[in-house]
Amino acid sequence: MVKGPEDIRTIEAIKTLTAGKTAQKSKMFGVLAKTLQAPRRARPSVNLDKISRFSQPKAVIVVAGKVLGAGKLSHPVDIVALTFSEQAMKKIEDAGGAARDFKWLVEKGSKGVILLK
């Protein structure tokens, strides 16, 4: 029996968040890594309408799971997540935002980031 994630994207995201000085930069990176180590069914799935409600223009939103395309994104935001549905990707780009990965988040830092579950 395999323990822990098997998906290569998940493994790379965990390594990125816990590597060297990265883990010391912010407690949020440790929380994200721990959430990503959980089974897939325990990771959050967040719709765009929730992101739109809890964010402001040009904000950085982090989801330790999947972003789904239900709802409408009313302003541009940078969204960091493990995976995105095709519909979510299209709506994010149409709103002027960007879908990012965890490497981008580590380079940017955790200041001013909103973590959604």
CATH number of domain containing 17: 3.100.10.10
Residue 56 CB neighbour total at 10 angstroms: 9
If one counts the domains in the chain, the total is 1
Q: Is the pLDDT of residue 54 over 70?
A: yes
The tens digit of pLDDT for each residue in 72-102 reads 999 999 999 999 999 999 999 999 999 999 9
Give me the phi and psi of 8, to 5 degrees please.
Answer: -65, -35
Q: What is the mean pLDDT of the chain?
A: 90
Q: Is residue 3 part of a domain?
A: no
Q: Is residue 1 part of a domain?
A: no
DSSP per-residue codes, 81-101: EEEE-HHHHHHHHHTT-EEE-
Q: Is residue 82 part of a domain?
A: yes
Residue from 68, 114, 102 nearest 87 by CA = 68
Q: Is residue 77 part of a domain?
A: yes
Look up the pTM and report it: 0.89
| pLDDT band, very low/low/confident/very high, at 117 (cuts 50, 70, 90) | confident
What integer pLDDT is reported at residue 51 of this predicted model? 96
Residue from 95, 100, 102 nearest 49 by CA = 95
Contact between 78 and 100 under an 8 Å Cβ cutoff? The reply is: yes
Largest CA distance in the chain: 45
Tell me the residue range of the domain where 54 lies: 8-116
